[in-house]
Amino acid sequence: MRKKLIAGNWKMNNTPSQGAALIADIKETADKASCDVVVCTPYICLPAAVKAAEGSKIAVSAENMHFEDKGAFTGEISAEMLKEVGVTYTVIGHSERRQYFAETDETVNLKTVKALANDIIPIVCVGESLSQRENGVTFDFIAMQVKLALKNISAQDAEKVVIAYEPIWAIGTGKTATDEQANEVCAFIRKTVKELYGENTANTMRILYGGSMNAKNAAGLLAQSDIDGGLIGGASLKAPDFCTIINAATNA
């Protein structure tokens, strides 16, 4: 049985003090929940978020990370830096980073490898565009993204990886994939992982759905056979909505 995971991706929202206040508002619900709860915050918010989450079940995640250990990479943040402030997860390859910041399948893979080497759990994002879906290449595209992200990663390490299926057309649009559409692709991702690593790894790996998941539609999505949680943007910024989603995962 895979433990569900609810992760809020704040994106470029919340100052350190606003973030700490939001965490204080979700702490009680998170502590009572049977799922894992993660908040993915801007770099500058991470230390305050770790402090605010202290003594609770909430884990703190970065939204990105560089793949080199150190060096002349102005503006970048390394795994070691994240670890030192108490970060235990990082999002990798979000579609917004692929689209606006030239993230590629190659850098996604390098970052995934580096996160695992530093005991940081990578939440690797994959997802097709509307035109890819309309042209019938969703599964080909997702298989490619998954296989390239997991290159040079052992089965033992792959079990720790979280994959988030986030169809680009559903992100921030209010247009959610149906329960069946989301589950179909999540099941396909698991099948792809099975081909790469075998049944055990495939059955252990957590696969999330993201894209306009909210307090209303979460229960339906989280009840699906291959959806092990959610990566939530907009609705993770409002404590009552995020708490409703955490409770939906507990009840799923």
CB of 234 to ligand 13P, least distance (A): 4
CA distances for 41 relative to 91, 127, 130, 140, 188, angstroms: 10, 21, 27, 31, 29
Catalytic residues: 94, 166
Helix (H) or strand (E) holding 9: strand 5-9
Among 18-26, 79-87, 215-223, 233-241, which window interacts with ligand 13P (CB under 6 A)? 233-241
- Please, which residues bridge with residue 229 across strands? 5
Vertex 7 angle, CA 3 and 8, to 5°: 160
Q: Which is nearer to ligand 13P, 201 or 217 (CB)?
A: 217
Verify binding: residue 127, ligand 13P, rule CB under 6 A.
Answer: no
Angle at 17 between CA 8 and CA 29, to 5 degrees: 45
Stretch that binds ligand 13P, among 19-27, 53-61, 129-137, 231-239 (CB under 6 A): 231-239
Q: Residue 40 or residue 79: which is nearer to ligand 13P going by CB?
A: 40
Site membership for ligand 13P, residue 42 (CB under 6 A): no
Which stretch, 111-119, 135-143, 148-156, 207-215, contacts ligand 13P (CB under 6 A)? Answer: 207-215
Q: Are 132 and 172 in contact (CB under 8 A)?
A: no
**Contact between residue 38 and residue 87 where contact means Cβ atoms under 8 Å apart:** no
Provide the minimum distance between the beta carbon of 170 and ligand 13P in the complex, in angstroms, as a whole number. 6
* Sign of the C-alpha dihedral computed for residues 96, 123, 52 and 68 taken in this order: negative
Whether 53 contacts 85, CB under 8 Å: no
30-38, 64-72, 104-112, 229-237 -> range binding ligand 13P (CB under 6 A): 229-237
Q: Which is nearer to ligand 13P, 182 or 202 (CB)?
A: 182
234 makes contact with ligand 13P (CB under 6 A) = yes
Taking CB positions, which residue lies at the least distance from ligand 13P?
233
Between residue 59 and residue 98, which ones bind ligand 13P under the rule CB under 6 A? Answer: 94
Return the half-sphere exposure (C-beta side, CA atoms, 13 A cut-off) of residue 68: 7
Note whether 38 binds ligand 13P by CB under 6 A: no
Asked if 211 touches ligand 13P (CB under 6 A), the answer is: yes
Question: In what helix (H) or strand (E) does residue 95 lie, and over which residues does it extend?
Answer: helix 95-100
**Tokens coding 16:** 């350190």
Binding residues for ligand 13P, rule CB under 6 A, total 14
Q: Which residues of the shown chain bind ligand 13P in the complex (CB under 6 A)?
A: 9, 94, 166, 171-172, 210-213, 231-235
